[in-house]
Amino acid sequence: MKNKKIFTTFLCLLTSTVSLTAFAQTNYKSLETIKQINPIICNKIDFEIINQESLPSQLKDSLNQCKQKKGFKFYENPSDGYIYISIFAGEKPTGGYGIKVLQVEDNEGKTNVLVREISPSPNDIVTQALTYPYVNIRAKSITPNIYVKNELGFEYPLLSCGETDNNTKPPVTVPNSKNDNNKNSTTKQNLLTLSGKFFKIEYKNGFYFISIKESNNKIKVFYIGKKSPLINNLKKIKPGTNVIIVYSNKNQIKYNKTTSMLLISCKVNSKNGNGAE
């Protein structure tokens, strides 16, 4: 009788062990299936460090204005298929400072650039004058949805320097045709203007996205960096206010299922506006 009880107990333990093993294997396979269904695609991209003379004129011409600020600027060159990126460390008190690109990677359509800022050691003999370190790179197989960070996690803002001066009036515009009164090409820097109603402003992935409703009820989206001087005024504009904006269609980034363009300035149309300028 005693031997029968021992055998019964052993059989129950064996059955439980087999069941637990089968359950673990099933769940492990389920986890593996989930990983296969939702993989995270992250590819390292080859890039090339270039000098100022190798930059497209659209980027080269703005270096002197941009290098005094900390941030980055890019240009997508349709003629050679490269995206050119200039990254600026800002104004430094002496020589000996620098900036180095460590890697470029594509993370599911998002271009991540990692940089290292270099500082002089106390014993270094350096130039006793203000300096403005920056680095230029170019790469293919990346998107213009670019994010630049240093090793400490600081995110560099996208600069609008060199496009236009936000403290001055927009350039005088010349209509393309009689039937195109809202979209005008400017005489300077290939900028464009558009009239419409202010729809909404939204912050996402380090950018502010501004939606404007045209007279045909179509929505166009524009973006600015999170440290742009335009932000405070834009937040004061009420939805439905008539505005006139100046923008560039060269540096475009994705926003949801559409494309957004770089906003240069946004002014309330004083004749019909009902919001803050």
| Mean pLDDT estimate for the chain | 78
Please write the tens of the pLDDT for every residue from 66-81.
999 999 999 988 889 8
Q: What percent of the chain has pLDDT over 70?
A: 72
Sequence-distant (≥ 6) Cβ neighbours of residue 157 within 8 angstroms: 70, 71, 72, 206, 225, 226, 227, 228
Q: What domain range is 187 assigned to?
A: 173-268
What per-residue confidence (pLDDT) applies to 41?
61
> Which of 109, 130, 156 lies at the terminal end of a domain, its last residue?
156
223 lies in the same domain as 126: no
Position 6 confidence tier, pLDDT thresholds 50, 70, 90: low
- Looking at the chain, list the stretches that DSSP marks H as alpha helix, in order from N- to C-terminal side: 2-37, 57-60, 63-66, 231-236
What per-residue confidence (pLDDT) applies to 229?
82
52 lies in the same domain as 150: yes
For residue 83, is it within any domain? yes
Q: How many domains does the chain have?
A: 2
For residue 8, is it within any domain? no
d(CA 105, CA 111): 6
Please write the tens of the pLDDT for every residue from 172-203.
333 343 444 444 433 344 688 999 999 999 98
For residue 161, is it within any domain? no
Whether residue 113 is predicted with pLDDT greater than 70 in this model: the reply is yes
Position 134 confidence tier, pLDDT thresholds 50, 70, 90: very high
90 lies in the same domain as 121: yes
For residue 97, is it within any domain? yes
Please write the tens of the pLDDT for every residue from 9-50.
555 555 555 554 554 455 554 445 444 545 556 789 999 999
For residue 109, is it within any domain? yes
48 lies in the same domain as 152: yes
> Which of 156, 189, 217 lies at the terminal end of a domain, its last residue?
156
Main-chain phi, psi angles of 59, to 5 degrees: -100, -40
> Which of 121, 156, 191 lies at the terminal end of a domain, its last residue?
156
Decide if 256 contacts 204 (C-beta within 8 A). Answer: no
For residue 10, is it within any domain? no
